[in-house]
Amino acid sequence: MTDSEKQSKTLDAVAIQKILPHRYPFLLVDRIIEIDPPKIVGIKNVTLNEPFFNGHFPGHPIMPGVLILEAMAQTGGILLFDTQERPEDKLVYFTGIDKVKFRRPVVPGDQLRFEMEMLKVKRSICRMRGQALVDGQLACEAELSAAVVEKKE
């Protein structure tokens, strides 16, 4: 993350792509609106154009819970990269999920707000807690674990 991005405390989609390796259709965070370690807040605008809605479910589109968790992990990954030297040479691997609860369906037109908090970082391993909210209502909550690894050439 550049010094100007750290100072602004927000990241648009272009800046996010400079940090995360994910690309369409798997980049699931549209904007970071707050970075204040150990916390970060990200946004995902859910539209009917999402490719997963073709099969989940026809005539009754609901965002898959695993993708909500992935979006939470991507948001947390941005915060985790901020703790690393030379993050451009590294990847974040999702290593565990605990205490997951889905509270409401996420449908086209919703805006997900991911609020993630780093609970523990020890070298390249971290644990974070997060929530996904829609209009202030809890859609999902979980504790996530991740590891930072070197990119292979």
Eight-state DSSP code of residue 133:
E
Q: Which of left, alpha, beta for 59 (phi over 0: left; psi -120 to 50: alpha)? A: left
Which residue is catalytic, options 56, 90, 104, 129? 56
Pair 119, 105: CB distance under 8 Å: no
Instruction: Give catalytic status of residue 56 as yes or no.
Output: yes
**How many CB atoms within 10 Å of residue 68?**
22
Residue 93 CA to residue 106 CA, distance in Å, equals 25
Cβ partners under 8 Å of residue 139, min gap 6: 68, 102, 103, 104, 105, 106, 110, 112, 132, 133
- Residues annotated as catalytic are 56
